[in-house]
Amino acid sequence: MAEHESLEFGKADFVLLDNVSLEEFMANLKLRFEKGRIYTYIGEVVVSVNPYRAMNIYGRDTIEQYKGRELYERPPHLFAIADAAYKAMKRRNKDTCIVISGESGAGKTEASKYIMQYIAAITNPSQRAEVERVKNMLLKSNCVLEAFGNAKTNRNDNSSRFGKYMDINFDFKGDPIGGHINNYLLEKSRVIFQQEGERSFHSFYQLVKGAPDAQLRSLHIQRDPTAYTYIKVGGQIKVLYHVQIKRDYYGWQGSRDLWHLGKIKPFDGDVTLIENSKLVSILGDLLSTKDENVEKALLYRTVATGRDVIDKQHTHQEASYGRDALAKAIYERLFCWIVGRINDIIEVKNYDVRVHGKNTVIGVLDIYGFEIFQNNSFEQFCINYCNEKLQQLFIQLVLKQEQEEYQREGIPWKHIDYFNNQIIVDLVEQQHKGIFAVLDEACMNVGKVTDEMFLQALNGKLAKHAHYTSRKLSPTDKNLEFDRDFRIRHYAGDVAYSVVGFIDKNKDTLFQDFKRLLYNSSNPVLKAMWPEGKLSITEVTKRPLTAATLFKNSMISLVENLASKEPYYVRCIKPNEVKSPLLFEHERCKHQVEYLGLLENVRVRRAGFANRQIYPRFLQRYKMISEFTWPNHDLPSDKEAVKRLLQGCGFEHDVAYGKTKVFIRTPRTIFSLEEQRAEMVKRIVLFLQKVWRGTLARMHYRRMRAALIIIRAYRRYKVKSYIREVNRRFRNVRGMKDHGKHVKWPTPPKVLRKFEEIFIQIYFRWWAWTLIKDLSPEQLVQIRAKVATLECLKGQRADLGLQRAWEGNYLVSKKDSPGTASSFTLISSDLQRKDKFMRVLFSCNVRKINRFNKAEDRALLITDRHLYKMDPVKQYKPMKSIPLYNVTGVSISPGKDQLVVFHTKDNRDLIVCLQGMVPAGDSRIGELVGTLLSHFKRFKPVRCLKSLSTLLFKSMLSVRFKKIFLKVSYAHQGCMYLLHLSKYSKDSNIMKYYCK
């Protein structure tokens, strides 16, 4: 059952018809043709209807769809039958053949090309040069044979006018290693005569239209084909298309003389002469022989009578006959020579069965189809006899195959009545009584024997035969002419033959003079074509076999060859006479169906069981229907599994079980199985989609998880490597002079860039701590003030006084107040007892600017509670006391001056200019600002910083970086002072100032 073929396209297999009748057969055939389905099965036979249009069903994609598949698994196609033949040959090591039959124009030659194309495409996957060469030669030989063996007829523009059987040899691996071509009955009479509207062989027109001018001149040929008698007889001169071929030089050379031979016309008189003697010279040149020898062979016949040899001159009729016989013989020998050359190239060489194994063969038979013309002569009689033989073989082999298969499988066989055309075959080929025997006897009789005498002999011997008649035997049949026609009731229909020319064509007489002429040619190709010409005139030769006998023997040999192989069939049908892709002529197609015996084939196939499949294949296709067989069965054998499946479906009464196959009687069972299978396939597809999507998701998850693990491992490796490198570089920083300041930090991975910043901050905190850890509390207070100044005024003033030690209480110093220091000490002590301040923050001589713009010397004392303005002249008597909490701000200028403005809540600002610096260039603005900022910021005690900084630096060296974050977070809570200090710790100069 072909897959993917719905009923809208009809039944893909005629065996599956509900009722086997000619009407249903034709209706199904027409429906499929109209739907573009040109192929249909009859079991293992392919019925092909010529579509008369190009179809995109032969490409590489289509080849892949049929490669290795069973017939019923894909829609009907030529590729399926080709693949079946190839598999049978390769699997069972058995020779097979594909027989292509049908009338002229039904598409037999195209079918053989596609079969060759498929076989060439599925073999040789490794593209070995020798096998490729053989395949190419097998394919390209078709073009050459078509050029020399095909012609335009009234029924087909590219009609094969010869029969061809090609054997393709394969080695034990299934690769083509060579081949051989046999040709049958070339219609050589077409060389000299064509029916109205037809043409001679393609090669003549291709030479005229395609050869270069220089070559035509060398052959003395004109470009105009109407100048030549032989090829204008049919009146169809226009070249409809060109068959592209690779022309062989000697092949063209062999036929070059035919152009001029037809123009030679002997004129009738007392002595027969040649009208145009120049043509004789041209023929002598082309045949590579002497002119006088050519003229003698055309006009005389050498006869040996005993010991005497005489030259007998031809009559006009004899000369014309000899000329035409020579033309036909030259072309036939040329064609056989071309086939021989192809065989020399493609045949298997140096093949030893013991070394290379047994080679097997696939045969492809493309032979002329049954023909019924207006005027049917000897050629049509032989062609139709050939089709009778092949039809008889077809029926016998089909019945034989069916019977043998039933016997092998142990199934009872039911006899089928069918038309046995053996009676017609015997009518033609039977010894002493057959038409060929009567024709040969007429040709061997001494004296003048005419075609009419041959017809009389037929009437005498075959008068009582049911399939033979003539006008003499049926006087009332006016479709037959007296003394000219006889009719045979073929299996394909009644055909009337004209006996005119039967005797001459059967004798196929070519005077020995022509054979000697061509054998003595200096052209080696022509010489090789005529080996019998070496006989001398007096040598007695055996009478050559007639054309009928030769053809009969070749047909018998062909049938025996086909019968020894496993046959596959392609039956071609021509849908109409006008080559239309849309027209289906019912009567014409019906006639072809009848004479091809297609309905009998269906009946034979349907006689017992319509369908049969081996158990594994049947299970593979239908096992999803039953729960006992899906997805796999646990029964003893596939046969038992098939039984269980069919019993579950209720079909056990419509089937039989063979040894290796299940046989199904009616098509309805197949349809029902297919419907159930189609329904289950949808569910299975959904299930598979679900499973597959889950599989894809899991695969994606595993890939992501694996990638994440790799990334984590890589990050961990990079982090550990970084921590180890930091540990290695900073391991001995305590013993270094600069405590590791010169050590270069390693480049961190991206994930640790933020972490590196924290590391560096921790390091510089530790580094700062190592510098300040031994300082006294007073020095630490001073450092706090300097840091506060730097935070507030860095970049605002050029000189902040960081380079010197800050004394704070300058009025106590003897440098600033050498004579009054003791007075200030007494006053400050009194103020301390009175105002209860803890310590003096800053004191200095200043110059005050009053509201009258007068400058006066004053002293400034700032304690942790008050700001005092004093008069140094009056023993530092306090003039003004401002609570420190009333001071809202301090303003200074960016210049070098020492001007300071103290802003108060009552807007009574105090403006002073610091003075009395020793040395005079010092600046105390920075010290004043820093002292006030340090006091107001109220830093926590320094006593905890030593142990904390040590803890931080040790944690930096820890390999377990997770703990570092915890330690850093903990340290950050109690290290505000150290953080401020570390901002400027990278500047070694500033740190020197801090540590003074």
Q: Which two tokens stand for residue 258?
A: 């035919």
Q: Which two tokens stand for residue 749?
A: 């991975």
Taking alpha carbons only, the member of 684, 604, 610, 681 closest to residue 651 is: 610
Q: Which two tokens stand for residue 987?
A: 């500047």
Which residues, listed in sequence order, are joined to residue 840 by a DSSP beta bridge? 863
Which residues make Cβ contacts (< 8 Å) with residue 392, sequence separation at least 6?
420, 421, 422, 425
CA gap 204, 363 in Å, rounded: 30
48 is known to lie in a ligand binding site: no
Out of 10, 43, 105, 179, which one is annotated catalytic? Answer: 105
Out of 159, 200, 203, 845, which one is annotated catalytic? Answer: 159
Out of 163, 262, 369, 597, which one is annotated catalytic? Answer: 369
- Element at 672 (helix H, strand E): helix 667-729
| Coil vs helix vs strand at 565 | coil
CA gap 906, 888 in Å, rounded: 10
80 is known to lie in a ligand binding site: no
Q: Write the single-letter amino acid at 733.
A: V
Distance, C-alpha 789 to centroid of its chain: 80
Which residues make Cβ contacts (< 8 Å) with residue 973, sequence separation at least 6?
none
Question: Which string of DSSP letters, residue by residue, matches 201-267?
Answer: BHHHHHHHHHS-HHHHHHTT--S-GGG-TTTSSSS--S----------HHHHHHHHHHHHHTT--EE
Tell how strand 655-657 and strand 661-664 pair up: antiparallel
Answer yes or no: are the C-beta atoms of 584 and 34 closer than 8 Å. yes
284 is catalytic: no
Taking alpha carbons only, the member of 158, 261, 154 closest to residue 205 is: 158
102 is known to lie in a ligand binding site: yes
159 is catalytic: yes
CA angle 326, 327, 328 (to 5 degrees): 90
Out of 101, 160, 255, 789, which one is annotated catalytic? Answer: 160
735 is known to lie in a ligand binding site: no
Write the DSSP symbol of residue 13: B
Out of 5, 44, 198, 371, which one is annotated catalytic? Answer: 371
Q: Which two tokens stand for residue 614?
A: 């081996």
Which residues, listed in sequence order, are joined to residue 468 by a DSSP beta bridge? 488
Out of 28, 50, 109, 255, which one is annotated catalytic? Answer: 109
Q: How far is CA 920 from CA 842, 875, 914, in A?
A: 18, 23, 11
CA gap 620, 622 in Å, rounded: 6
320 is catalytic: no
109 is known to lie in a ligand binding site: yes
Tell how strand 300-305 and strand 96-101 pair up: unpaired
306-313: long-range contacts at Cβ-Cβ below 8 A with a sequence spacing of 24 or more?
307/538, 309/537, 309/538, 313/271, 313/272
Out of 28, 48, 50, 104, which one is annotated catalytic? Answer: 104
Burial annotation 618-648 (CB, 10 A radius, 16+ → b, else e):
bbebbbbbbebbeeebeeeebbebbbbbbee
- Element at 601 (helix H, strand E): helix 598-607
493 is catalytic: no
690 is known to lie in a ligand binding site: no
Which residues make Cβ contacts (< 8 Å) with residue 433, sequence separation at least 6?
461, 462
CA gap 445, 456 in Å, rounded: 14
CA gap 254, 231 in Å, rounded: 17
Q: Which two tokens stand for residue 298?
A: 């055309």
601 is catalytic: no
Which residues make Cβ contacts (< 8 Å) with residue 423, sequence separation at least 6?
466, 467
Answer yes or no: are the C-beta atoms of 864 and 769 closer than 8 Å. no
Answer yes or no: are the C-beta atoms of 764 and 745 closer than 8 Å. no
104 is catalytic: yes
- Helices 547-563 + 378-409 axis angle, to 10: 20
888 is catalytic: no
Which residues make Cβ contacts (< 8 Å) with residue 643, sequence separation at least 6?
652, 657
855 is known to lie in a ligand binding site: no
Answer yes or no: are the C-beta atoms of 198 and 234 closer than 8 Å. yes
Distance, C-alpha 804 to centroid of its chain: 87
Which residues, listed in sequence order, are joined to residue 532 by a DSSP beta bridge? none
111 is known to lie in a ligand binding site: no
629 is catalytic: no
Catalytic positions, written as ranges: 104-105, 109, 156, 159-160, 369, 371
Known binding-site positions: 102-109
Query: Which residues are annotated as part of the binding site for ATP?
Result: 102-109
